[in-house]
Structure 1
């Protein structure tokens, strides 16, 4: 499975440490390997229709055991053309598609249960019994309602007789009582008979539904047992030679259980093969081939970091024993950066946040943020100070309150959408064939399997609305102004990159597009009402790009 480069690579320096898979720039050797894999994929005509729907591929540059020779391994996520094994790519950690394997055999049994459930739910006998129950229940209710109305009318008639007669004889009084008792007894007999008939029909329906429920429970239990047995087959190696199965690995996570498809992504396959064959992993890269998924953002040929939900727990184990690059997001790049204050008075200020600085402290509290800097500058300020946030990669105007009361007042303006903001961005492509102005409305939510990425979801997403205006198009880029009406995480980045938005990522957006020197997104204008004076304050700071 080892491929040696088609061209001489002796002049390319090997990486000093292995790639940090969740935030990286592909090593030159990975770029060359990716080019060769793409060439191979493009030549497989029989795969093109399937690949057009999109698939993640990966490369792993490796060094031969007891040698300085280098080559690379290739892998795909999931399966391809109905198989897990293809000659050019490393095999899966466990081939769940092998015909005689327990997974396929049990999967067929579960499929048979599904078929029986479907047959029973749609059987003529069950549907007829449900319809009879529905019809007879309605008929019973109508009959009893009519009988109740008759009882009421008879009672009212007896009352009229009592009131209209000066004196009823004892015999007449007794007759009215007997009449009332008889009618009530008749109603009880009628009610009992209808109840018996309806219960018989309900029992018949219940027999069907109990069997359906029993089969569904059996399906659920067998599926869970199959998943657990399957995950136990994924015995993941690391560079120390240690082995853990997926169940053990995910026991240490919040959800405890491995998600579906865990262990089948490209990088775990690549590392497993390398360790098993005593190959030294040097660098990795993963890239997308084909159209973007419906809800996520992927662009053909672009590099992407490994996913967090499925891969992060696995890779935390598999990378042990390797020297791995540090997470660049934890570099304290702005420790000595002096914040530019664009506007200030006794009550508030507006700062120009540099790209790469957090707005507020993150998980790694030692990484400086705007909040850290401001607490040093204004030790007597009260309240949270930061009124709204910008992504770490975004630069621009950030509104800050010096008191808790001013903070609350400004937040109310954000909630009422009375604060106006304008961003400027450089898109990685030419948008010359769309309207110069428009509105994007795509509901957004967190992708739970790939934090911090967001996804479009009509079911779970929150309303996200952005107006835009194209400023200019030149040299393969589009300069654009964004006017967000809501403030969702990664809203502008998603609305730019998603196929249902502009379909053109912001330049330098490594989450939804291509990595560059920076994310070319800047908050250049903010307009708000001063909480104390009531004046409209307009602040502008043009982008440096």
Structure 2
């Protein structure tokens, strides 16, 4: 079994986990960390394949980082080893023996996929030739010019007709009192005939131009019908190829039950996301189940340069993605006893809300870390629910703004609908001043600055956010250093906008501060807590309109 890798490190003193890793939120087990480090040593020295990860700067090919995974397993001889895999494909399309094979290799010689791709490539070639055909381009240009000339001339005629109509109307009005009945009747008939003449001329002109366009339209349609037909043929072949491919990606679980992507996603209206089944985790589990290996623990880490949109740091560990992997792994991990899903644990259960100010319409409180502002899908305990219970007669939505569950600090609430509306307008108009304190994992070179990175939700991995200059919403943050502490940097954040995870992404992204907030389990490394705290807020009281401010120092 060439893909079963023996540990080079002595693991005799390592204890095995009692349950398998919950892949969507975990702290890597020591055995998985050892296996990952051995693969990382291999990646630094290997000559088995060519791929520019962006670590070395001596390559002419574009740098692309990649996710790798390790799965610690036990074989039939009760020996502990591990498997390794990478997500997607390597730049040179190779399948190095160090890594388990894909669930389905669509690029084997003579495969239906390569044949299907060749047919689609041929259609694309025909389309390319048609679109560049000299006669087609000439006819298209002539037709476009002729359409414009006709449209311009018809518009000119309509303008003349409107002017003539207006002049006839004025003449008729002015002549009504000056002419006798007989003369006025003759004038009316004359003006009516002129109107008919204008309309007849316009209709004749339209018919003339229609005839003039027929020949060139027929010639143009010959090419455009061929192009449309080829596009339809391409779409049909592409859809068939994709559906066949989905059926070939079939996944095992411990019970040897086989399900393909179409069965797993089981929705005729929604296609499985691109790349489904190509991530490291499904590859590792597929090989383990196919070869009677018992999964013990697993971990996935990023290797190489950070991508432009998502946040991935070299050598950092990451959970399996939600959109592509979750449905597949739900099937593959059936029957395996897994660690608890910590995302469903209510960490706020034993925590109290500290009210720092209260009057007839306003509440200001110090929200602890790991405490929801509003009820979630699974966890209902939140600031909103507790305040609602405490003040059952309060009107309006209560919540004025939110803090991430993991962020601690000052949160404002209102007891009346009117007060809520007034405070919300201050947030919308950005007249409220806010300051956050954060401890970053890194030493910053500049003392202050501004970050402008537009954000949108990662549709493939909610609730994470992506930097997206095309579809993202504007997000702006000012920052300044407070102090540097043993390779870490304490900073003030002044958010100008209030996007989801704005400060966390602006801190971690390579084009932001490139230094994740300590304890950020989404964009950095998990620790005891997220070191982000809403320390200061200043606003106008919603009824007295007096300036108010609160400051609460962080616990870190």
Cα shift at 1:185 = 7.0
Deviates more, 1:146-155 or 1:503-512: 146-155
Deviations 1:4-23 (A, max 9, x none): 11021011110111111111
Cα shift at 1:179 = 11
- Helix, strand or coil at the partner of 1:226: helix
CA distance in 2, matches of 1:329, 1:183: 76
Q: Map of 1:52-71 to 2, 5 A cutoff? A: 52-65=63-76, 67-71=77-81
Instruction: Tell whether the 8 Å contact from 1:397 to 1:523 is kept in structure 2 after alignment.
Output: yes
Cα shift at 1:363 = 0.8
Deviations 1:324-357 (A, max 9, x none): 1111121122212222222222322222111111
Matched, 1:208 2:226: no
Instruction: Tell whether the 8 Å contact from 2:362 to 2:413 is kept in structure 1 after alignment.
Output: yes
Give the match for residue 469 of structure 1.
480
Q: Map of 1:113-152 to 2, 5 A cutoff? A: 113-141=123-151
CA distance in 2, matches of 1:484, 1:149: 55
Cα shift at 1:534 = 1.5
Give the match for residue 24 of structure 1.
26
Cα shift at 1:139 = 3.7
CA RMSD of aligned residues (A): 3.1
Cα shift at 1:58 = 0.4
Matched, 1:397 2:410: yes
CA distance in 1, matches of 2:339, 2:507: 30
Instruction: Tell whether the 8 Å contact from 1:84 to 1:97 is kept in structure 2 after alignment.
Output: no
Q: Report how many residues are paired.
A: 538
Q: Which runs of 5+ in 2 are unaligned?
A: 55-62, 184-188
Cα shift at 1:317 = 1.1
Give the match for residue 186 of structure 2.
none
| TM-score, L = length of structure 2 | 0.89
CA distance in 2, matches of 1:148, 1:516: 74
Instruction: Tell whether the 8 Å contact from 1:292 to 1:298 is kept in structure 2 after alignment.
Output: yes
Cα shift at 1:408 = 2.3
Cα shift at 1:379 = 3.1
Q: Closer, same or farther in 2 for the Cα pair 1:355/1:190, shift >3 Å?
A: closer
Matched, 1:320 2:320: no
CA distance in 2, matches of 1:273, 1:397: 50
Q: Closer, same or farther in 2 for the Cα pair 1:137/1:278, shift >3 Å?
A: same
CA distance in 2, matches of 1:184, 1:356: 76
Matched, 1:502 2:518: no
Matching residue within 207, 215, 222 for 1:192: 207
Matched, 1:408 2:421: yes
Cα shift at 1:467 = 0.9
Give the match for residue 276 of structure 1.
290
Q: Closer, same or farther in 2 for the Cα pair 1:196/1:427, shift >3 Å?
A: same
CA distance in 2, matches of 1:180, 1:406: 65
Q: Closer, same or farther in 2 for the Cα pair 1:431/1:126, shift >3 Å?
A: same
Give the match for residue 443 of structure 1.
454
Instruction: Tell whether the 8 Å contact from 2:451 to 2:512 is kept in structure 1 after alignment.
Output: yes
Matched, 1:339 2:353: yes
Q: Closer, same or farther in 2 for the Cα pair 1:107/1:50, shift >3 Å?
A: farther
Give structure 1 regions of 4+ aligned residues with deviation exceeding 4 angstroms.
Answer: 141-157, 165-168, 174-191
CA distance in 2, matches of 1:206, 1:222: 24
- Helix, strand or coil at the partner of 1:355: coil
CA distance in 1, matches of 2:159, 2:553: 79
Cα shift at 1:193 = 3.2
Matching residue within 298, 323, 330 for 1:309: 323
CA distance in 2, matches of 1:542, 1:76: 44
Q: Closer, same or farther in 2 for the Cα pair 1:123/1:378, shift >3 Å?
A: same
CA distance in 1, matches of 2:194, 2:358: 92
| TM-score, L = length of structure 1 | 0.91
Give the match for residue 171 of structure 1.
none
Cα shift at 1:380 = 3.0
Q: Which runs of 5+ in 1 are unaligned?
A: 169-173
Matched, 1:379 2:379: no
Matching residue within 54, 72, 82 for 1:72: 82
CA distance in 2, matches of 1:179, 1:308: 73
Cα shift at 1:47 = 2.6
Instruction: Tell whether the 8 Å contact from 1:99 to 1:105 is kept in structure 2 after alignment.
Output: no
Matched, 1:290 2:293: no
- Helix, strand or coil at the partner of 1:312: helix
Matched, 1:479 2:475: no
CA distance in 2, matches of 1:388, 1:181: 67
Instruction: Tell whether the 8 Å contact from 2:344 to 2:379 is kept in structure 1 after alignment.
Output: no
Give the match for residue 265 of structure 1.
279
Matching residue within 237, 245, 250 for 1:235: 250
Q: Closer, same or farther in 2 for the Cα pair 1:347/1:124, shift >3 Å?
A: same
CA distance in 2, matches of 1:441, 1:154: 58
Q: Closer, same or farther in 2 for the Cα pair 1:518/1:135, shift >3 Å?
A: same
CA distance in 1, matches of 2:43, 2:306: 17
- Helix, strand or coil at the partner of 1:421: strand
CA distance in 2, matches of 1:41, 1:348: 57
Cα shift at 1:153 = 10
Q: Closer, same or farther in 2 for the Cα pair 1:133/1:347, shift >3 Å?
A: same
Cα shift at 1:76 = 0.3
